Amino acid sequence: MEKIRIIIADDHQLFRNGLKLLLNSFPGFEVTGEASNGNEFLEVIKNTDAEIALMDINMPEMDGIEATRKGIKIKPGLSIIALSMYGEEEYYYKMVDAGARGFLLKDSDISEVKEAILTVVRGGSFFSQELLHHVIQKIKHREQETKSANLSKREREILAKICEGLSNQEIAEALFISKRTVDKHRANLLGKTNSKNTASLILFAIKNKLIEI
């Protein structure tokens, strides 16, 4: 089986070394390049074929946002997963605008890193479940801001449950309503916020200050 080729861009060498060691221990994964800043990353991708890049957001010389934007122009087929720490929520929508396909906390379990890579390689997008739970706790304190999108109280409740990672059936059971009702509200949420998926809904909340930054 052909291996999934990965680049790690992070300004902490110890972190890169540890992540590289763990990823290379998985059958089917291979770290083929490393960079300590955005400029190095752009040079690495010119000479290394890779499907995935794990990208730190805050790096010297050129940050992860600009490196993502420029990197995808150089290698349109490259999928980028942002590596984040708590407190960097304000950068998430900028990373999505730049082309990032996923978000992982830097202290995520290695099994979640593996899941994120496999999900994105298959064409999906990935949000760390721990990150979703962290974000939703902040959303609850900023509900008044949803007026800008004309969200109803029920839609805010369902948005909260979506952010917790619940399926439509689980939301229906939690709120004692039918799944069909949840389906309808979810469709309305996607339309009102101009979002394509769950990750986009979370980023809408961040961009429109529905969470505390």
Tell me the CATH number at 103.
3.40.50.2300
Q: Give the whole-angstrom CA distance, residue 116 versus residue 110.
A: 10
**Stretches in the chain below the pLDDT threshold 70:** 1, 86-90, 132-149, 165, 206-213
Question: Are 28 and 46 part of one and the same domain?
Answer: yes
**Do 123 and 138 fall within a single domain?**
no
Question: What local confidence, expressed as pLDDT, does residue 43 receive?
Answer: 95
Q: Is residue 138 part of a domain?
A: yes
The reported pLDDT for the residue numbered 213 is: 41
**Has residue 213 been placed in a domain?**
no
Q: Of 127, 143, 178, which residue is a domain's last?
A: 127
Instruction: Examine the domain organization and report whether 109 and 161 are in the same domain.
Output: no
Question: Taken in order 131, 63, 203, 191, is the CA torsion positive or negative?
Answer: negative
The pLDDT assigned to 138 comes to 60
Give the model's pLDDT for residue 161: 82
Residue 39 lies in a domain: yes
Q: Is residue 140 part of a domain?
A: yes
Say what the pLDDT of residue 26 is: 92
Predicted local confidence at residue 144, as pLDDT: 47
Looking at the fold, whether 157 and 119 belong to one and the same domain comes out as no
pLDDT in tens, 119-150: 899 887 788 877 766 666 665 555 444 455 68
Q: Which domain-ending residue is among 86, 112, 127? A: 127
pLDDT value at residue 180 = 94
170 and 190 part of one domain: yes
**Pair (95, 164) in one structural domain:** no
> Count of domains in the chain?
2
Range of the domain at 56: 4-127
Asked if residue 212 belongs to a domain, the reply is no
